[in-house]
Each structure stands twice: as structure tokens, then as C-alpha cells.
Chains A and B, each alone.
Chain A
Amino acid sequence: MDIVKGVLDRSRLAAAKGITAVENEYPEATGIMQALYPHTGRAYILGITGPPGAGKSTLTDKLAKEYRKRGKTVGIIAVDPTSPYSGGAILGDRIRMMDIAMDEGVFIRSMATRGSLGGLSQKTADAVKVLDAFGCDIIIIETVGVGQSEVDIVKTADTTMVVLVPGLGDDIQAIKAGILEIGDLFTINKADREGVEKLHIEIEMMLELSGNKTGWKPPINRTIASESEGVLSVMDSIEAHAKYLKESDELKTRRAESIKTELLAMIAERIRRHINKTVAETRDFENTILRLQQREIDPYSIADDILDKIIKQ
């Protein structure tokens, strides 16, 4: 099957196969991405993160419905952690989205973290590009905001929303360092629960402490996503942020920053692979390790030497 042609012709099967190709690092993946790249950059990308049980999937479902009402097509990438013990994963986010699963204008894909550091953000970024080329107007990336790699994923979004719920106690302390600073918007979900005011104040305080230097003040919305309450104001905040990004030119800076990060990461990844092949897997290298163990040489000089050699090649 011609995946590239299929994706551009809006074949759902081709989009699914395309994502699998990047996710599994199939040999044809690079070719697919090269061909699709010119067709990307159209979609608006929304990142949603927050602790487990915050209601991210429900909120994603409601936002997607609202976008559909407004005539936009939606792609959703839901990332869940891989079990460190078995390498397997249970991906259960779709359960909250079955209403929209039959909508021709919605494409949902679940991805597991597969324990790959850094590699994951590249794979989700590529999956986003597949959906972008496929024709999704809005792409929502949903991740559990606990680890650095998840944070890296949502960093590639145009707008990042952090979802929290009252009553998680000290959890907010644990996650604040990682995800609070990347939030363009904050949503307090399950706002009918006790502790809403306290959480609201905590977020405000942390935002003040972080010393906002841009012209955007992250709004804090309250929702009861399961009953669709407050979803419209969240939409308004997303639109307002998008408008701000556009008018302040920050969208350009952000995307440029994101492309830069991605390109550097790609180069680094290629260099790493190159080194693995040309250096790490050679007999010479094993001898070097032996000599290092005997303290005949030092690793600092050796590293410089090897780099010199690679550059000269």
C-alpha cells in the first residue's frame, strides 16, 4: 500500500499504517516522513497533560465534540505509560471517547511510551505530522504528566493545557516543577469537589512566583467535564491563546523553537546511531575500553580524539 498517497488522500487506513511505521521504526518510515513533511504545519496542536485520574480523556472528548460542532476535523493522540516490568501497556483512554469514535472527522490513536527516552517525543511528533498531512485541523496530544519525556511531548504543542483536580493533596507539589511551568492554560476539572478554592489559589501563587515575562497570563478555568460544564470557557481560553500567539508573533517563535529542537534532536539521534555503528561496534573500541580500565589512557582525551576523527571523515 502506498502510505504517503493514502494519507494525502485522507485514507484512514493509510494514516493508521503511517503512524505504525514511525512508531515501530520501520525502514520505510523516514521516506514516508520526508514525503509528508511539505504537507504539514497546517494543524493547530493542543497538548493536554495532568496527573492520572484528572479527567483528561473526558475533557479531550468534550473538546473534540465542540471542535466538530465548529466544523473542524480532529486528531487525537493519547499516550499512556508502558509497564516497566513486561514492556506491555494497557491503553484505555479511548473508553471515554467512544461517542466520537465513529465520527468521520475524528481520528484517535493510542500510543504507549515504550520506555524510550527522547525517542518517544520524536515518535509522537511524527505521528502528529501524519495526522496533520492527513488533514486534521486540530490535533490533541494527551499525556499523563509525570515524566520528563511526557513533558517533552506536550512542549511541541502550540497551546499546552494542564488539567488538575482538587483533592490530590501533595501531588500538586510533586508535579508542579515539571508541568506547571509549561501550562498556557490551567483547568481545574471535577470542580464540584471540595478543595477547588484551595487548588485555585495554589495555582495562582505558583504562576506569580514563576514570574511571567510574556504578555500572556495563563487563565484558570473550572470544569465538570463529565457533565460538559465549563467546556465552552476552556474553548474560549484556547482560542484566546491561539489569537495571542498569532498577534504577538509568538506562534512563529514557538514553532521555530520547536523545529529547532526537533532538528537538533534528529541530528543528535543520527550522530548517536553513526557513532554506534562506526565507533562502538568496532574491535578498536573494545581495546580502548580495556586500556581505559588499566588506566593506560584517560577517557577525556580519547573522546576528543574520536570526535576529531569523525569530523575529518
Chain B
Amino acid sequence: MANEKLLEGLKAYNAAVEKTLAKSPERTNLEVNRLYTPLDIEKFDYETSLGFPGSYPFTRGVQPTMYRGRFWTMRMYAGFATAAESNKRYRLLLERGGSGLSCAFDLPTQIGYDSDDPIAEGEVGKVGVAIDSLEDMEVLFDQIPLGKVSTSMTINAPAAILLAMYIAVAEKQGVPADQLNGTIQNDILKEYSSRGTYIFPPGPSMRLITNIFEYCSKNVPRWNSISISGYHIREAGATAAQEIAFTIADGIAYVEAALKAGMDIDDFAGSLSFFWNAHNNVLEEVAKFRASRRVWSKLMKERFGAKKPKSQMLRVHTQTAGSMLTAQQPDNNIVRVALQTAAAVMGGTQSLHTNSKDEALALPSEASVTIALRTQQIVAEESGLADVVDPLGGSYYVEALTDKIEAECWDYIKKIDELGGAPVAIEKGYIQREIQESAYKWQMQVEKGERVIVGVNKYIDKKEVPPKDLLRVDASVGEGQKKRLAALRAKRDNAAVNAALDALEAGAKDEKVNLMPLILTAVKTYATEGEICKRLRKVFGEYKAISTL
């Protein structure tokens, strides 16, 4: 049913546009249409495209009332230097109104090396907190009631070990595992494609992940056993559609691995969570969030036969885009983060980390991290964006964009399925190359001035003074951790440690064994993370990256 009146109006409008263009041409770097009308969403059907918040296909959100009841979890990613130092920062954030914790670990911890390993030289405590053993974890959560807060841990290859340490600390606080709330990232596929903190080859890595799924579904039921992450894929240079497509393709691989291990879809699908990037283009980001929920719910319902609504929901944590922060005129980053926050909120995120203005230069200082948290509070309390569910639903532009991103996403999923699934597509370098191509295109657009970054390639301040008060991680952290490790190795029951590690190594050799209980036993003897990973490396080997350039 073509709307004749609309078509007529459009003709008249186009004529007017021609006249205007003759006088004042438009910018040449625009990638979207000039105007969106009902003609751009002809296939739009309220029931099937949107439905209602809290029900299939969840386009408008995973929860009926969204932020009218409770705001999203304001979860600030933090961690640096020692466990004691990070514990102080966590308590500060909770005291200032943060509603959840998010732990950043240093690279040696993320890659399974103790702080005294020669390869860790210079890296200890740098991008996150250094955790070597249960002893450090006890300090990290000292005086933080683990039964009450929810904790997200950005840990992947050694996720099982850090989760085990968390469970052990909670036990010491008297909190049983089934009371624990939180998330481990546990997403190895994007480590191979984008982030780089892998340890083991794909086979054993996928086994560890399904071991965790199984263990959590029985023992830590409120825990999100994976956070399937597009954030880093986007940071590596992907487009919005690529971000959700490659991540959902990873998600499909995890679901298939769990099904293959004999689990029932509705037993674990509800504990899968996602992690998106909130980038600069506000409306594109909103459309991306909406499209991702629609794709995932369709996949879970139609392809995997999930029945529980919770299994069909794409619940998501979000972080504002770190790669969009500029080292130049860093105060401008506050504005960028505010817009990205608005996008994540209008997109319906379940929790959010906001970056601090100084993160293109260093780890955030206490003052700048407070501004970042306040930014969320302003959006929540003052902007009105949180007062209505899916405020942009029905916008011609946003609906058309949601459809477009969804279609691109399905195209990629089809292509990846044809290649044999995400693990094969990564092994062949397909996903890495697609991301690199987008990253290079972006960089060239910036260098040619086709894409403006304020303060970087336009509105440059020639007299800029470098900012002061940057956070510096004390170089003595590494030495301190080394001493702690030496003392620990001297005082713990080394016979018990070795027995636990031997049992773990034996278990690793038998594919049928779930490694979680063995790891839990090992961490309780104060076996270090590096010692545990060393045994696993011995059995599993190490992943070798391929060249994709």
C-alpha cells in the first residue's frame, strides 16, 4: 500500500533539496541518507520487529520496565599495582555510588605467569592488578562483602583459576558459592582474533570454557560464566556490524561446544552474557544494541531451540570506546564519554563502564575516574534518557539502521558458518583480516581528513600543554610481588601444593574430567597461578598466532 500522499511530498521535498544543493552543497563525507521516512522501513511490523520490552525478540530491551525501576549497574573497570592498592580503589568506587566491581588484571596474570617470571619484567601491576595466588585475592577483596556486590573479572585464558580463587575467598568470608554474583569474561575466541591474551590452543581452551559452564550451572548458578565480547573486536578496528556479527559468531561456537559436551541449552544459555563497545556515532550504536538483541534471540529460539525467555535474551555489559579517546586536548574526552554513555543507555545496556579522560595517556587518576562515574550518574538522574523504555523505538532512521545492521550481521554469520564456524574462520585469519581492513580504512579516512577527530586532525591546539597528575604505577610493584611470592613459597605446605598440581595435571590429560574442582583444590593450597598454568601448558601446549597481514 504505497502512500501516495507521502510519495508526492517526497517529490516536492527532493525538488527543494536540488535547489538548496545548487546553492549550498552538502558535506562529502556523509555515509547515511539525507532523510528517513516510512518508505525506509516498509517491512517494519511492530509485533515482529519490536514486540514489547522483556519479551521476544527483545529489540526494545530485556526487561519490561528497564531503568524506571533500577538503573543499569555502574561498574567501573579498575585495578592496578598491588592487590592492596586496588582494594583501596574498589572501596572508593563503592563508597561513591558505584554499584558493582570490575577487576582489571595485569598482563602476566592474564597470560598465566607469576610476577617473578622473567617474561613479566616491566609488566607487573601495569594494566591491572597483579594476582599470583589466593593470598593476593584475599587482599583484593578485603572488607568487600562478596555476598552483596557483583564482581566482573576481565580474565580469559586462566578464567577458571581466578574464578576458583574468588570462590575460595568467598568461602573464607562465609559466603557460599551459590550466593555469588558476577561475571568472568572467559571468551577465548576474541583473544585469538583481537585481544591477544591467549595461552592454550583452541581445543583445550574450549574444554576449559565448557568445564566452567558445567561447574557454574551446578555450583554457582547466579554467575555469568562467560561475557562474549565484542568490545575488543571493535577496539581492534571493526565496524558496528562487524562487532556484533563476529561476537555472535563466537557465541554460536560456545553454545555448540556446550551442546556437544552434553549440556541442555536451557541449562546454560541464561548464564551467557555479552559485552559491547559504546562508540562515537550515537544513533548507530543504539541501532547496534537493538539489532544484536534481535539476532541473538532469533538464533537461540530458532536455531538452538531455547525455550526459557532468559535463554533468548542478550544481556550486555558495555564500555565506552577506549580507542576513541584522544591524547590531545584530553578534557574533550569527558564529552565523548558522555555521548557514548547516552548511546549505551538508549541502547538498553545492563551495566556500564565509562572511561576516564586521561586513558589515552595513562591509567586513570582518582579524580578522573570520579568524573567518569559522575557522567553515568548525570545521564541516569538528570538527562531523562532513563525515564522511558527504548526512547528511540519507532524513529525511521533508527529502525532502518537497526534493520541494516541486523542484515549485515546475518550476512557475516552465514559466511562464517560456511567457513566452518568462528574457530575455523579465526584459524584461517578471515575475521582478523576483516577487522584489519576496517581499521586501516578508518586510519586512512582520519589521515585524509574525511573523518574528523576534534583536536587530532581538526581544531588542533598548537600551544597544548601536556596534562599533569597522571597516575604512575610505582616501579617497585614487581619487586614487592616477587618478595611476597618468595615468602608464600616458604610458608605454605608445598607437599599439598605439589599433590594438587599433580592431580590437576593428570586430570588435564583426560578429556572427560572437569578441571574446575581440581583447580579449586589447587588454589586453596596456595598454588600460584603461574604454577597451575605451567602444568596446564605442559599438557595442552601453547597457541601460536598466525600472520594475517
Contact B547 A92 (CB under 8 A): yes
B197 to chain A, nearest CB (A): 17
- Decide yes or no whether B16 CB sits under 8 A from chain A: no
CA distance A222 to B549 in the complex (A): 27
A27 to chain B, nearest CB (A): 34
Query: Which residues of chain B come closer than 8 Å to A90, judged between CB atoms?
Result: 549
Contact B549 A92 (CB under 8 A): yes
Interface centre among B541, B545, B547, B549 (most CB of A within 10 A): B547
Query: Which residues of chain B come closer than 8 Å to A57, judged between CB atoms?
Result: 547
Bitwise, A86-109 to B at CB < 8 A (1) or not (0) is 000010110110010000000000
Contact A96 B546 (CB under 8 A): yes
CA distance A53 to B547 in the complex (A): 9
Contact A95 B547 (CB under 8 A): yes
- Decide yes or no whether B544 CB sits under 8 A from chain A: yes
Bitwise, A225-269 to B at CB < 8 A (1) or not (0) is 011000000000000000000000000000000000000000000
- Decide yes or no whether B308 CB sits under 8 A from chain A: no
Query: Which residues of chain A come closer than 8 Å to B538, judged between CB atoms?
Result: none
- Decide yes or no whether B428 CB sits under 8 A from chain A: yes
Query: Which residues of chain B come closer than 8 Å to A96, judged between CB atoms?
Result: 544, 546-547
CB contacts under 8 Å to A, within B308-362, are none
Contact B544 A226 (CB under 8 A): yes
Contact A95 B545 (CB under 8 A): yes
Prevailing SS type, chain A contact patch: helix
Q: Give the residue name and chain of the A residue nearest to B428 (CB).
A: A53
CA distance A158 to B213 in the complex (A): 53
CA distance A90 to B549 in the complex (A): 7
A52 to chain B, nearest CB (A): 10
- Decide yes or no whether A58 CB sits under 8 A from chain B: yes
Query: Which residues of chain A come closer than 8 Å to B544, judged between CB atoms?
Result: 58, 96, 99, 226
Bitwise, B171-205 to A at CB < 8 A (1) or not (0) is 00000000000000000000000000000010000
CB contacts under 8 Å to A, within B396-448, are 428-429
CB contacts under 8 Å to A, within B12-29, are none
Prevailing SS type, chain B contact patch: loop
CA distance A58 to B545 in the complex (A): 10
The contact size tier of chain A is 10 to 19
CA distance A95 to B547 in the complex (A): 6
CA distance A57 to B201 in the complex (A): 18
CB contacts under 8 Å to A, within B532-548, are 541, 544-547
Bitwise, A64-101 to B at CB < 8 A (1) or not (0) is 00000000000000000000000000101101100100
Q: Give the residue name and chain of the A residue nearest to B547 (CB).
A: A92
B202 to chain A, nearest CB (A): 10
Query: Which residues of chain B come closer than 8 Å to A92, judged between CB atoms?
Result: 547, 549
CA distance A226 to B201 in the complex (A): 10
CA distance A21 to B354 in the complex (A): 54
Bitwise, B506-549 to A at CB < 8 A (1) or not (0) is 00000000000000000000000000000000000100111101
CA distance A96 to B541 in the complex (A): 15
CA distance A89 to B490 in the complex (A): 53
Contact A93 B428 (CB under 8 A): no
Q: Give the residue name and chain of the B residue nearest to A228 (CB).
A: B541
B519 to chain A, nearest CB (A): 24
Query: Which residues of chain A come closer than 8 Å to B545, judged between CB atoms?
Result: 95
Q: Give the residue name and chain of the B residue nearest to A97 (CB).
A: B544
Query: Which residues of chain A come closer than 8 Å to B541, judged between CB atoms?
Result: 227
CA distance A90 to B433 in the complex (A): 14
Query: Which residues of chain A come closer than 8 Å to B201, judged between CB atoms?
Result: 226-227
Bitwise, B32-75 to A at CB < 8 A (1) or not (0) is 00000000000000000000000000000000000000000000
Q: Give the residue name and chain of the A residue nearest to B542 (CB).
A: A99
Q: Give the residue name and chain of the A residue nearest to B544 (CB).
A: A96
B30 to chain A, nearest CB (A): 29
Query: Which residues of chain A come closer than 8 Å to B549, judged between CB atoms?
Result: 90, 92
Query: Which residues of chain B come closer than 8 Å to A53, judged between CB atoms?
Result: 428-429
CA distance A99 to B547 in the complex (A): 15
CA distance A266 to B545 in the complex (A): 40
A97 to chain B, nearest CB (A): 10
Q: What are 19 A-B pairs with beta-carbon distances under 8 A? A: A53-B428, A53-B429, A57-B547, A58-B544, A90-B549, A92-B547, A92-B549, A93-B547, A95-B545, A95-B546, A95-B547, A96-B544, A96-B546, A96-B547, A99-B544, A226-B201, A226-B544, A227-B201, A227-B541
Chain A contacts to B: CB under 8 angstroms: 53, 57-58, 90, 92-93, 95-96, 99, 226-227
Q: Which 10 A-B pairs have the closest CB atoms?
A: A92-B547, A95-B547, A90-B549, A92-B549, A95-B545, A96-B544, A53-B428, A226-B544, A93-B547, A96-B547
13 more contacts with CB within 8 A, not counting A92-B549, A95-B547, are A53-B428, A53-B429, A58-B544, A92-B547, A93-B547, A95-B545, A95-B546, A96-B544, A96-B547, A226-B201, A226-B544, A227-B201, A227-B541
